[in-house]
Structure 1
Amino acid sequence: MEALPLNSHQQHQLSQSQSQSQSQSQTSANNPLKHPGLSLFFIALGLFGLFTVEFSVVGLMPQITARYDVSPATAGLLVSVFAGIVAIFGPAMMLGLSKYTNRTLLVSSLLVFCGCSLLSPWAPNFGTLMLLRVPSALFLSVFFSVAFVSVVSLYPPQQAARASAAVLMGESAGMIFGAPLITLIASTVSYNASFYFCASICAIAAIGLCFSSLPTTPQQAPKITDNLKILKRLPFLLATTSCLTVFAAIYSVYSYTVEYLSKSGYTGEQTSILMMIFGLGGLLGTYLSGRLLSKSVLFALTLYPLLLAFCFALLFYLKHQPMAVMGLICMAWGIAHMGLAVATQFWVTSSGKDAPEFATSIFVSSGNVGVTVGTAAAGGWITVVGIDGAIWSGWTFCIATIVILAIALPGLRRASFTGT
């Protein structure tokens, strides 16, 4: 959830690009490398790579704190500053680079991710490591936005939605499994190897896209002036504020997961397994949230903040339990983590349903601000009370979310939500 969605101006561009899909299919019959399915695969692989790059530092938190002799709170800036750059500079980057072709933007972005990952393990100090995160943050929104324009343009309109859903799997896999996978590589191979893995994924995706059948039409600059009216609506503002507190709660704890489990006595290998279990819970939570939202949006919005706070309590009071117990806790935590994220996105976009693209862009920006605020706040708590401060920060933002939900409750009861 870290990037810009398509806006109405870009969708108009897509309608023009889709007229080329028939000729592209004829080309793919003569040249298998030009098959749209391969382009979709490499775009999804690129999304997996870039989100693994973003959250790799979560899986490397103990190594980073030891390597550069910094506190967990300081190391957490690698997450919060990255998210802040995405939220603030993403739209400007997309506008400034709109004159370049889709293929150029996608491949260039991936090469930036690759280069920064190759250089990161050689950073002589923490400040240099932080600076090497900046280019990747600047280009994350560019890649994400252009990726979906490109994927949809490769297929006829009746297959566009399915293609978008397929490529989203790359994003979800990166967000959920990126950090656990990096933790596993760092603990079983080396710290350097974890960065090289990120670089190799991005490089493979870049090479694949160089030979793809991507459209060569430059992006249109976003235009959202007609959509600004939703910002005047109290229900939408409440949903957006809730988005900020939700992601602040989520990333208060998630950003320091590896450090928390490590200081709770679990080895690197055990932590990797627990984070994989958390990832599986996240996939299950995504599925269950969709089912629950189709039945009762209000119940889903009420349930998940409470469930997340309860999981934080289990982490806090049962952190020295055997692996089997902690595995169950991490599974439940993953369900609450992704379930709350999905439910919140549905609330925001439904509250701005007459301007869905712009509403989603506000969701992305608010979520990234939440990541920044949550990580920074948890860092402050950790400085004062130790690693348990991450849990206290998570609880604080869970309470804030519940308060906002209580204020929005009358409007939610009157709202005519439909299931996903």
Structure 2
Amino acid sequence: MKKNFIFVLTIGVFSILNTEMGIVGILPAISEQYGVSLTTAGMLVSLFALAIAIAGPVMPMLMSRFERKKVMIFVLCLFTAGNIAAAFAVNFQMLLVARVIPAFFHPVYVSFALAAASDSVENQADVPKAVSKVMVGVSAGMVLGAPVAGLIVNSSTLRIGLLFFAAVNLISLIATVLFVPEFAASEKVSYGQQLRVLKEKRLWLALVGVLLLNGSIFGVYSYVSAYLEEVMNLPVQIISIVLFAYGLMNIVGNTVAGRGLSSMPNQFISIQPIVIGVIYLLLLFLAGKAMIPALAVILAWGVSAGAVANTIQYWVTTAAPGAAEFANGLYLTAANLGISAATPFCGVFITRFGTQAAPVGGILLVILSAVCILLKVHVMDKKKKELQQ
């Protein structure tokens, strides 16, 4: 039963992320269908992400007093209805509204799913393994949604492509109703108690670290297509395959992180910026010189990126014990803000030095994240142990 339960959570998270990121693969079709520019169509992505950033710290906390299964069913119903409304939208404004309203509940479902996975195991050391299975849904949603939606639209119509998102939500909804048990009643944590975790210096350090570390990944990844095309001179068809493989490596990274964080969390967290920094230095060195080694490095980067996703979630939630949903919401906000800030930051180096300089911004961000990790592992964690003794 527990395996089915965790699997359903993974499918649910996939259905939410599929709605968020799958739209990227059909933006040109939306631009053509509704007569708007590609930049305007991009608001379907940027406003969705903005809604997540705004709702992240607030909505999971407000909904935490309600039973988790009922909340997750409500969110999946909302996403299903929103995607159906989007499929039949008569103008772009209606399409935008149909997407943005459910986006405010995105952090609710993901936070609840991660918290439920954490609570599904008795041994605290096994929590990262349980969470890593749900995080697979995040990686799969990010890598599979766009190409599958694009394939559907190219072979049928835009409406069918948008209904694909609704269908995945509906499947997840049915599975949740059938296979996810009612969660046992537990002591409710008041809003005041949850907000009290904001006094923890460890939490703020974790949030800054998440912003920097996640930014170091996605700030560079935002330009990886241009890097592969302009620097490595790869054709578009090969680039699509490379990006798909990168996404699959994310899933491998989720699994690796689950094991690493369970057995030696501080060591695993500490090694993340080192690995990413080496990968970016190799990408700088190999730029335009050796295609096969560079592609191998990008696949290794995919594994590392998947591991980072688990690492930053673990870092925030362990810094705010007793407020799981709120902490997961804060993690989602910090991660999204990191992406928003890091993308233009890395773009500055591309503007000045060319596309081959994309990893430079990532290197600077990863160095700053290493400082945060150093403070966490060697200062704050030691102080906490001393106080406990």
TM-score, length of structure 2 as denominator length? 0.72
1:199 aligns with 2:166: yes
Q: Map of 1:382-397 to 2, 5 A cutoff?
A: 391-397=359-365
Deviations, residues 44-76 of structure 1 (Å, cap 9, x unaligned)? 3222111222222455678778985446xx877
The CA deviation at 1:416 is 7.0
RMSD of aligned Cα (Å): 4.7
Say which of 177, 182, 186 aligns to 2:145. 182
| Residues 1:44 and 1:215: Cα distance change in structure 2 (over 3 Å) | same
Equivalent in the alignment of 1:225: 192
Q: For 1:295 and 1:217, how far apart are their aligned partners in 2? A: 28
The CA deviation at 1:336 is 2.0
**Contact 1:42/1:209 (8 A) holds in 2:** yes
Q: For 1:75 and 1:313, how far apart are their aligned partners in 2? A: 35
Which amino acid counterpart does residue 93 of structure 1 have in structure 2?
M
Q: Percent identity?
A: 25
The CA deviation at 1:411 is 0.2
**Contact 1:235/1:408 (8 A) holds in 2:** yes
1:273 aligns with 2:273: no
Q: Map of 1:78-89 to 2, 5 A cutoff?
A: 79=45, 81-89=47-55
Equivalent in the alignment of 2:106: 140
**Contact 1:304/1:340 (8 A) holds in 2:** yes
| Residues 1:173 and 1:351: Cα distance change in structure 2 (over 3 Å) | closer
Q: For 2:243 and 2:176, how far apart are their aligned partners in 1? A: 31
Structure 1: any 5+ residue segments left out of the alignment? 1-34
Deviations, residues 328-385 of structure 1 (Å, cap 9, x unaligned)? 1222101221233333444444444576665555434322332333345456766777
**Contact 1:184/1:269 (8 A) holds in 2:** no
Q: For 1:125 and 1:233, how far apart are their aligned partners in 2? A: 47
**Contact 1:116/1:133 (8 A) holds in 2:** yes
Equivalent in the alignment of 1:398: 366
Equivalent in the alignment of 2:80: 114
Q: For 1:333 and 1:185, how far apart are their aligned partners in 2? A: 23
The CA deviation at 1:278 is 1.7
Q: For 1:94 and 1:237, how far apart are their aligned partners in 2? A: 18
Q: Map of 1:53-202 to 2, 5 A cutoff?
A: 53-57=19-23, 69-70=37-38, 79=45, 81-90=47-56, 92-94=58-60, 105-118=71-84, 130-147=96-113, 169=133, 171-185=134-148, 188-190=151-153, 192=158, 195-202=162-169
**Contact 1:100/1:219 (8 A) holds in 2:** no
**Contact 1:44/1:168 (8 A) holds in 2:** no
Q: For 2:348 and 2:90, how far apart are their aligned partners in 1? A: 25
Which amino acid counterpart does residue 59 of structure 2 have in structure 1?
M
Structure 1 stretch displaced more, 138-147 or 95-104: 95-104
1:340 aligns with 2:308: yes
Deviations, residues 293-350 of structure 1 (Å, cap 9, x unaligned)? 5676554444322322333344455465787445412221012212333334444444
**Contact 1:106/1:146 (8 A) holds in 2:** yes
Structure 1 stretch displaced more, 158-167 or 87-96: 158-167
The CA deviation at 1:95 is 5.9
The CA deviation at 1:218 is 10
Q: Map of 1:188-267 to 2, 5 A cutoff?
A: 188-190=151-153, 192=158, 195-211=162-178, 214-215=181-182, 223-226=190-193, 228=195, 230-258=197-225, 260-261=227-228, 265-267=233-235
| Residues 1:239 and 1:286: Cα distance change in structure 2 (over 3 Å) | same
Q: For 2:262 and 2:64, how far apart are their aligned partners in 1? A: 37
Deviations, residues 32-54 of structure 1 (Å, cap 9, x unaligned)? xxx88766554432221112222
Secondary structure of residue in 2 paired with 1:190: helix
The CA deviation at 1:126 is 7.3
**Contact 1:84/1:372 (8 A) holds in 2:** no
Secondary structure of residue in 2 paired with 1:215: coil
Equivalent in the alignment of 1:20: none
Q: For 2:127 and 2:266, how far apart are their aligned partners in 1? A: 30
Which amino acid counterpart does residue 77 of structure 2 have in structure 1?
L
Structure 1 stretch displaced more, 261-270 or 177-186: 261-270
1:365 aligns with 2:328: no
Secondary structure of residue in 2 paired with 1:312: helix
Deviations, residues 265-298 of structure 1 (Å, cap 9, x unaligned)? 4445423322332234323333444555567655
Say which of 14, 19, 22 aligns to 1:48. 14
Secondary structure of residue in 2 paired with 1:330: helix
Which amino acid counterpart does residue 272 of structure 1 have in structure 2?
S
Q: For 1:94 and 1:354, how far apart are their aligned partners in 2? A: 14
Which amino acid counterpart does residue 241 of structure 1 have in structure 2?
V
Q: For 1:89 and 1:239, how far apart are their aligned partners in 2? A: 19
TM-score, length of structure 1 as denominator length? 0.68
**Contact 2:217/2:362 (8 A) holds in 1:** yes
The CA deviation at 1:190 is 3.3
